[in-house]
Structure 1
Amino acid sequence: MTSTRKKQIVTLLKGIETGDEDAVSVVNPEKYIQHNPETHEGGEGLAALFKRLSKTSPRVNIVRVFSDHDYVFAHTEYDFGSQRIGFEVFRFEGEQTVEHWDNIQPRRSPNSAGLSMVDGAVEVSDLAKTESNRTIVKSFVNEILIERQLDKLPHYINGEHYTEHNPNMGAGFASLVSALSDTTPTGSLKIQYNQCHRILAEGNFVLSVCEGFSGGIHSSFYDLFRVSEDQLVEHWDTAEAIVPKSEWKNNNGKF
């Protein structure tokens, strides 16, 4: 079931390239709940979106794909005339997906360490540690990202064995501390995590879905971590501004 669902989602996302309406057959249009506020609900809405996007000669690459019970989540790169990096999350009931969330941002140049937003490890391992790794990331998100207990960072991260893919950050511990401590001219934090909505995991990879503010703008944060020997050793992310509710094309909410 797990491998089949992953293949179905890869087929669905690759359908963006061709505009093939059959690619959305994995979607149950009678139950489908769309959380992208800029997309209409249902299989019909996706088919129309794919057909429109296909006219731009898009390119879709699924870099990583994971499964967590009824969820499949993927790390993706898109070229719709401009390059973007995204995370896609689907919830299944039986053989079809019935709910979708995503978080997409423009692709940025490699960071000061020369690392892109998508390169790095892709293979899933340590399946027996899925739940313990989920717990580690949940604690990290709560204690470090939300509560800002930065004195606890060494418990989660060994600076000598940490690889950072955020385009605005460099390698190592100091860059992470600086990013989490940076403030605006008015004294507020530039990046503020307020609430964690979901933690998804498969083996050594864990994705957190959070809400907060970036530069004072209401935003969603998706953070993918690779965990090894009970510490976070690699990190990828996307941040996306949440459009005002007056501009939503559905009423399901971003989260």
Structure 2
Amino acid sequence: MTSRRKQLIHALLKGIETGDPESVKVVNQSQYIQHNPQTHEGDEGLAALFKRLSKTSPRVNIVRIFADADFVFAHTEYDFSSQRVGFEMFRFEGDQTVEHWDNIQSRQGPNSAGHSMVDGIAEVSDLDKTESNRELVQSFVNEVLISRQLNKLSHYIDIDHYIEHNPKLSSLSSVHVALSESDIDDRFSIQYDKSHRILAEGNFVLSACEGYYQGQHSSFYDLFRLESGKIIEHWDTRETIHPKSEWKNNNGKF
């Protein structure tokens, strides 16, 4: 079932390139809940979107794809009229997906350490450590990102081998500085307020959080790779959450 669902989502995302309406049949139109505020609900909305996008000769690369119970989540590259990087998250019932979330931003970088937003290890391992890795990341999100106990960074992160893929950061010290910075109103420039979901498969864990970036209401998706009980690699995307008056559905970002 897990492998089959990954294949279906892979085909769905690649359908963006061709506009193939068959690819969206994995979507259960009668139950589908769409959380991308700029997309209409149901597979008819996706079919129309894919048809429109296909005219721009888009390219889609699924860099990493994972499964966690009834969820499939993917780390993706998009080349439409501009290059973007995103995370896609789908919830399944049987062989069809009934709910979708995503978080996409313009591609930047590489960072000063030479790492892009998507390069690095993609192979899933340590399946027996899925739950312990999930718990570690949940604690990291709660204690470090939300509660800002920055003195605990080294408790969760392998400081000697850490690899950072954020285009504006390059090391653990730069992460510490970024989380400590304030804006002109003395508010933290990066503020994680709420953890909405933690998904995991083996050595990879994805967190979806809500907060503020430079005063703008934002969604933060962070993908972590763990090794020997520590975070050793990190990728992320951030997206501004626009006012509800601009949404094409009423389901909310999360």
Partners of 1:183 and 1:111 lie apart in 2 by 22
Partners of 1:221 and 1:15 lie apart in 2 by 26
What secondary structure is seen at the aligned counterpart in 1 of 2:98? strand
Structure 2 unaligned blocks of 5 or more: none
What secondary structure is seen at the aligned counterpart in 2 of 1:145? helix
**Does residue 197 of structure 2 align to residue 216 of structure 1?**
no
Q: Which residue of 1 aligns with 2:236?
A: 237
Deviations 1:143-173 (A, max 9, x none): 00000001111110122110000001012x2
Using the TM superposition, give the Cα deviation of residue 220 of structure 1 relative to its aligned residue in structure 2, in angstroms. 0.2
How many aligned residue pairs are there? 254
Partners of 2:36 and 2:105 lie apart in 1 by 13
Using the TM superposition, give the Cα deviation of residue 243 of structure 1 relative to its aligned residue in structure 2, in angstroms. 1.1
What secondary structure is seen at the aligned counterpart in 1 of 2:225? strand
Q: Which residue of 2 aligns with 1:198?
A: 197
**Does residue 85 of structure 2 align to residue 85 of structure 1?**
yes
Structure 1 unaligned blocks of 5 or more: none
Partners of 2:170 and 2:101 lie apart in 1 by 29
Using the TM superposition, give the Cα deviation of residue 183 of structure 1 relative to its aligned residue in structure 2, in angstroms. 1.2
The answer to whether the Cα contact below 8 Å between 2:109 and 2:168 also exists between their aligned partners in 1 is no
Give the alignment's TM-score, normalised by structure 2: 0.99
Partners of 1:22 and 1:154 lie apart in 2 by 48
What secondary structure is seen at the aligned counterpart in 1 of 2:38? coil
Partners of 1:157 and 1:175 lie apart in 2 by 13
Q: Which residue of 1 aligns with 2:163?
A: 163
**Does residue 118 of structure 2 align to residue 123 of structure 1?**
no
Q: Which amino acid aligns with 1:161?
A: H
Q: How does 1:112-191 map to 2 (within 5 A)?
A: 112-171=112-171, 173-191=172-190
Partners of 1:105 and 1:24 lie apart in 2 by 23
Partners of 2:99 and 2:154 lie apart in 1 by 37
TM superposition outliers: structure 1 runs of 4+ over 2 Å: none
Aligned alpha-carbon RMSD (Å): 0.6
Deviations 1:90-129 (A, max 9, x none): 0000010000000000000200101000000000000000
What secondary structure is seen at the aligned counterpart in 1 of 2:160? helix
What secondary structure is seen at the aligned counterpart in 2 of 1:49? helix
Using the TM superposition, give the Cα deviation of residue 250 of structure 1 relative to its aligned residue in structure 2, in angstroms. 0.4
Partners of 1:244 and 1:185 lie apart in 2 by 23
Using the TM superposition, give the Cα deviation of residue 135 of structure 1 relative to its aligned residue in structure 2, in angstroms. 0.1
Partners of 2:241 and 2:181 lie apart in 1 by 22
Using the TM superposition, give the Cα deviation of residue 81 of structure 1 relative to its aligned residue in structure 2, in angstroms. 1.2
Partners of 1:67 and 1:128 lie apart in 2 by 14
Using the TM superposition, give the Cα deviation of residue 83 of structure 1 relative to its aligned residue in structure 2, in angstroms. 0.1
Q: Which residue of 2 aligns with 1:14?
A: 14
**Does residue 97 of structure 2 align to residue 97 of structure 1?**
yes
